């Protein structure tokens, strides 16, 4: 936007704010994006600043939050880092990696971030908005806020809520989660803390996750509208969605939707878990039950276990060792168990981890080698420059098929020449993307650098069939519905449910 006047020439953006974190902003934006696409509009998702370790890599190699990528899919367009110009990837102790327009600009503390990167951050947000409108002048931005817009200790340096709303003069929706309780206080308290010119931007209220008979809230709806003079434009029922959560803490609450699973999968709940959307395709397999493993235990009840990605691989490997889970995983492998490590999980399955440039945090990591679990003869060195790219390759195991996905990692992994590597084999034609080893008595250990590997239907089905064959279960039908079609179906169902209970008409003018 080169001038304020031009803001009035664009289609009115819609912004979704929340009374709190977890109120349902991400899914609301996803639903609205698909609803507007179905109406023939050109919606584009936008979130000025997101804090998440659940990332996606766009087709230019830029990092962005997975939630904005999912919203782009709902719009029927390719994700772009411009849709999420600032991504903060937390590393604990109030330290985060800062991504601007898809590229890492370094690590900072929360205090230094607000002091040093607030103004540059706002410039990055404006630059992204200008670029989006230049490329698609007829688009309608569907903007997601972050947390609450009225955190009074942070409001003067909040980049992604009311500052964006005022800059674009957006029509704003306030979403609140009735499941949490205190819905009236959430709404009134949030509005009372806004300045008059900010409150004027709120054009509608959504009550989210309502259980039971919607007619029972009619009196509540009237009270809210009389008190606030803002219409309640939607009361959304509780939906059994199967999207990945924004926050890794929410993973603990995620329950399987299928009551008669044939295969049980255990995923290690690492303290610094990242890219947990990798497992969404498994969540949608009716034959699979997923359980999250947080403490030492006998793992033999699982048909396969997964070591997921990590934002701090060395720290998480030390956690595995100290908690006893490393030994549990070794014993599981010795019992012919099946293991898949993805990205950081791959690195942990190796023999050693080295951090000469202190990319993993404390300097002590760079002064000594950290032992891995030791199930694959691989050593990893964390380099200064991060590798982020889309992948188009071909797998060699468990079947030959085309593979798509993406990479995000600092670590470079090579065969450990001090170990016997006779049994280890490449998984892909691109030899540095993954390796596997078959145990003598059965079971396999696989380490893979590709995020989104389970989205590849042929690969996923063949791997699951290896497990099913070992259990003497009938093999999966090759004509089973693809995950991407399932994702489209989920987005459509989400949009249809919202459309039944949501009146957007007044916000489109």
The token duo for 467 is 């497990």
Residue 286 has what pLDDT?
86
The pLDDT value recorded for residue 6 is: 57
Check pLDDT > 50 for residue 1: no
In eight-state DSSP terms, residue 283 is H
Q: Are residues 232 and 323 in the same domain?
A: no
Nearest CA to 449 out of 318, 307, 329 is that of 307
Cα separation, 293 vs 296, in Å, equals: 8
Considering the domain architecture, whether residues 63 and 152 belong to the same structural domain is answered as: yes
- The reported pLDDT for the residue numbered 245 is 60
Could you tell me the residue range of the domain that residue 268 belongs to? 248-482
Please tell me whether residues 228 and 264 are part of one structural domain.
no
Least confident of 34-43, 158-167, 218-227, 472-481: 472-481
Give the chain's domain count: 2
Residue 62 has pLDDT above 90, yes or no: yes
* pTM of the predicted structure, to 2 decimals: 0.94
Q: What is the pLDDT of residue 481?
A: 79
Choose, from 172, 451, 489, 501, the residue flagged as catalytic. 451
CATH number at residue 101: 3.40.50.300
| Residues in Cβ contact with 474 at an 8 Å cutoff, skipping those fewer than 6 apart | 468
Longest dimension (CA), the chain: 74
* Closest residue by Cα to residue 175 from 219, 129, 210: 210
- Check whether residue 472 and residue 415 sit in a common domain: yes
Q: Indicate if 113 and 221 belong to the same structural domain.
A: yes
Residues 291-306: pLDDT tens digits?
999 999 999 999 999 9
Mean residue pLDDT of the chain comes to 92
pLDDT reading at 340 higher than 90: yes
Q: What is the CATH number of the domain that holds 412?
A: 3.40.50.880
pLDDT > 70: percent of the chain: 94
3-state secondary structure (DSSP) of residue 230: coil
Smallest Cα–Cα separation from 396: which of 432, 445, 430, 346?
430
Helix (H) or strand (E) segment spanning residue 444: strand 444-448
- Asked whether residue 95 is assigned to any structural domain, the reply reads yes
Mean pLDDT confidence for 403-414: 97
DSSP string spanning 291-325? EEE-S----TT-SEEEE-EESSHHHHHHHHHHHTH
Q: Which of 75, 343, 399, 501 is an active site residue?
A: 343
Q: Is 451 a catalytic residue?
A: yes
- State yes or no: pLDDT of 131 exceeds 80: yes
**% helix, strand, coil for the chain, step of 5:** 35, 30, 35
Share of the chain above pLDDT 90, in %: 81
Beta pairing class for 95-100 and 86-92: antiparallel
The Cα–Cα gap between 474 and 126 comes to: 55
Q: What is the pLDDT of residue 2?
A: 43
**496 lies in a domain?**
no
pLDDT of residue 201: 98
Query: Is 100 labeled as catalytic in the residue annotation?
Result: no
d(CA 48, CA 52): 13
Long-range contacts of range 255-258, CB-CB < 8 Å, 24 or more positions apart?
256/283, 256/288, 256/289, 256/290, 257/283, 258/286, 258/287, 258/288, 258/289
Give pLDDT, residue 174: 98
> Is residue 258 located within the same domain as residue 228?
no
Q: Are residues 220 and 257 in the same domain?
A: no
């Amino acid at each position: 936007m080169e001038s304020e006047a031009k803001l009035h020439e664009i289609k009115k953006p819609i912004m979704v704010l929340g009374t709190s974190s977890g109120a349902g902003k991400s899914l609301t934006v996803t639903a609205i994006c698909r609803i507007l696409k179905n109406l023939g509009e050109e919606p584009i998702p936008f979130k000025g600043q997101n804090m998440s370790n659940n990332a996606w890599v766009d087709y230019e190699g830029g990092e962005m939050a997975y939630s904005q990528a999912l919203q782009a899919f709902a719009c029927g367009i390719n994700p772009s880092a411009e849709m999420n110009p600032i991504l903060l990837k937390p590393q604990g102790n109030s330290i985060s990696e800062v991504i601007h327009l898809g590229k890492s600009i370094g690590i900072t503390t929360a205090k230094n971030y607000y002091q040093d990167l607030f103004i540059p951050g706002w410039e990055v947000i404006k630059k992204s908005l200008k670029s989006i409108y230049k490329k698609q002048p007829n688009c309608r931005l569907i903007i997601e806020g972050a947390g609450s817009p009225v955190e009074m200790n942070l409001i003067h340096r909040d980049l992604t809520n009311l500052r964006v709303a005022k800059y674009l003069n957006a029509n704003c929706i306030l979403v609140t989660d009735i499941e949490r309780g205190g819905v009236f206080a959430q709404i009134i308290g949030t509005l009372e803390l806004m300045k008059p010119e900010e409150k004027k931007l709120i054009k509608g209220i959504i009550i989210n996750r309502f259980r039971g008979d919607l007619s029972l809230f009619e009196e509540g709806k009237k009270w809210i509208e009389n008190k606030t003079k803002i219409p309640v434009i939607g009361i959304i029922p509780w939906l059994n969605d199967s999207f990945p959560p924004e926050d890794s803490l929410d993973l603990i609450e995620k329950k399987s939707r299928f009551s008669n699973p044939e295969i049980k999968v255990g995923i290690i709940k690492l303290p610094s878990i990242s890219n947990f959307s990798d497992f969404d395709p498994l969540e949608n397999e009716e034959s699979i039950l997923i359980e999250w493993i947080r403490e030492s235990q006998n793992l033999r009840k699982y048909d396969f276990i997964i070591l997921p990605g990590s934002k701090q691989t060395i720290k998480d490997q030390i956690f595995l060792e100290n908690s006893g889970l490393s030994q549990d995983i070794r014993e599981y492998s010795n019992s012919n168990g099946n293991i898949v490590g993805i990205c950081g999980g791959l690195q942990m399955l190796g023999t050693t981890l080295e951090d000469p440039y202190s990319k993993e945090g404390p300097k002590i990591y760079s002064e000594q080698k950290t032992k891995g679990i030791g199930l694959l003869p691989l050593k990893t060195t964390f380099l200064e420059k991060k590798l982020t790219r889309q992948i188009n390759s071909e797998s060699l195991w468990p079947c030959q098929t085309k593979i798509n996905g993406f990479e995000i990692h600092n670590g470079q992994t090579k065969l450990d020449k001090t170990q016997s590597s006779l049994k280890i084999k490449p998984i892909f034609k691109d030899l540095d993307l993954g390796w596997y080893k078959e145990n003598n008595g059965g079971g396999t250990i696989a380490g893979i650098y590709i995020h989104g590997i389970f989205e590849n239907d042929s690969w996923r089905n063949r791997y699951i069939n290896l497990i099913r064959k070992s259990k003497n279960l009938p093999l999966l039908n090759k004509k089973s519905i693809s995950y991407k079609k399932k994702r489209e179906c989920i987005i459509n169902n989400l949009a249809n449910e919202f459309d039944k209970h949501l009146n957007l008409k007044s916000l489109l003018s």
